[in-house]
Amino acid sequence: MKSIVKNEPSIKNPIIQAVRGQLEQRASWLYLLCDEGGKRGLEWKDFGSAAIKRCGLAQGKELIKTGGTESLIGLRKTLFTKPAQWVFEMKIRKSTDQVLAIDFHYCPLVKAWQKAGCTDKEIADLCDIAMCGDHGIGEAYGGKLNLLKSIAKGDEVCRVYYHK
């Protein structure tokens, strides 16, 4: 069956590719943990989502401490730095104290799952689990995250929308 997931980078810089490789390794860990859990009768989302959200909440608290603010502008400045923008080929659509909207044009996590031979459904499920970290970060900032589009589900971009 042909995949609906389109995920090819346009930035080919060797340093950016090396960073992407590290992110792919982490995504591989998530897939392998979920796969092993599934072999033992566990539903991926039943344990993966909670664990990744805990990570996001902790990361969000650390980002707030580092940036010294709960403003979503502070989140953009601490997490969505210029290097991160290159790695994920991001476009910042809006950045205010109350709203942070970003389009991601490439995802190294999805690339790792594609390389592992995951089905489109597995890629979508793994993305949902991974996004729990981003939801946790939003919650730490006193806001919410809406994922309006997703590369993992066949969209041309991941469109994230943090809001308070």
pLDDT (tens place) for every residue of the chain, 164 residues total? 789 999 999 999 999 999 999 999 999 999 999 999 999 999 999 999 999 999 999 999 999 999 999 999 999 999 999 999 999 999 999 999 999 999 999 999 999 999 999 999 999 999 999 999 999 999 999 999 999 999 999 999 999 999 99
- Tally Cβ neighbours within 10 Å of residue 67: 17
From the list 109, 78, 107, 74, the residue with the least C-alpha distance to 90 is 107
Q: Is-contact 139 57, C-beta < 8 A?
A: yes
Residue type, 95: S
Tokens encoding 96: 């205010």
Q: What is the pLDDT of residues 43-54, one digit of tens each?
A: 999 999 999 999
Considering the segment(s) 14-163 as one domain, its CATH architecture is Alpha-Beta Complex (3.90)
Question: In terms of DSSP bridges, do strands 90-95 and 99-104 run parallel, antiparallel, or are they unpaired?
Answer: antiparallel
Q: What is the pLDDT of residues 110-142, one digit of tens each?
A: 999 999 999 999 999 999 999 999 999 999 999
In whole angstroms, how far apart are CA 143 and each of 20, 23, 109, 122?
28, 25, 24, 28
How do the domains of the chain map onto residue ranges? 14-163
